[in-house]
Copies of this chain bind each other. A is one copy, B any other.
């Protein structure tokens, strides 16, 4: 599949950009830097920086100013996983078959490495001022980064998810968690790409809405795969939501309604992107691939 190959290639390039922005493992504070870099190097698909870079290209962006923001976004995504895995939260010892940060470095350093990554994300994004001082979009891109990662974005969704752990969710709360915990950083990624490339406010809003739909569809597809896939395809046990008595879009609305909602969201997101005066074929394929993925 050509898109899978394109994703793989880009993820590798993004991995190299990330490495260049990670702090050097030196000095008295070497241990926390090792823990930070261990967390980021755990890999993953680098979807957020990829969406950012492709949206930047969509609007004609051609400089390296987007790179510190790409790195910052991945650092924020990573810190959220590091803290999510802590004993006081999900208490996960493994993630993608690799020991989690606190499992390797201890709980105190799991907390500190997460803090350090969040802080370093802003230090990193702020270097954009040195790369392209004349880019008027940088302050707004920083505000989007901070806003979508905070209490009105990702952390907000995360706190509601934690507060409702083990309790049944209604549709409104589930929607809130999906939109904030998953959606907000996807929105930020695409918006920052647009802003840095000089997109208009209307274009930014279109991209934000499409990214929000992408995030929601992505999350509902996750719920669907948990009941329809097989362990072989998914690479992890299926049916875990039912076993954990977790409220998902599928348990609330049923499989058919979930599939219909993914279709609706997907069509809407595509239509928004097609109405733009600019086009990026890879970005469109990437969005559809994420929504309709089989694993």
Contacts of A108 in B (CB 8 A): 88-89, 162
**In whole angstroms, what is the CA distance A33 to B151 when docked?**
8
Cβ of A160 and Cβ of B29 under 8 Å apart? Answer: yes
The winner among A32, A108, A158 for most chain B CB atoms within 10 A is: A108
Instruction: Give min CB distance, A84 to chain B, whole Å.
Output: 10
Q: Is the interface of A mostly helix, strand, loop or mixed?
A: helix
Cβ of A83 and Cβ of B111 under 8 Å apart? Answer: yes
Cβ of B112 and Cβ of A158 under 8 Å apart? Answer: yes
Q: Is A183 interfacial (CB 8 A cutoff)?
A: no
Contacts of A116 in B (CB 8 A): 150-151, 155, 159
Query: When A116-B159, A118-B119, A146-B119 are in contact, do A151 and B32 touch as well, CB less than 8 Å?
Result: yes
Contacts of A109 in B (CB 8 A): 159, 162
**In whole angstroms, what is the CA distance A162 to B29 when docked?**
11
Contacts of A176 in B (CB 8 A): 28
A interface residues, how many (CB within 8 angstroms): 52
Q: Is A122 interfacial (CB 8 A cutoff)?
A: yes
Cβ of A155 and Cβ of B123 under 8 Å apart? Answer: no
Q: Is A285 interfacial (CB 8 A cutoff)?
A: no
**In whole angstroms, what is the CA distance A114 to B28 when docked?**
24
Q: Which residue of B lies closest to A142 (CB)?
A: B126
B-facing residues in A32-51 (Cβ within 8 Å)? 32-33, 36
**In whole angstroms, what is the CA distance A208 to B20 when docked?**
29
Q: Is A198 interfacial (CB 8 A cutoff)?
A: no
Cβ of B122 and Cβ of A146 under 8 Å apart? Answer: yes
Cβ of A143 and Cβ of B126 under 8 Å apart? Answer: yes
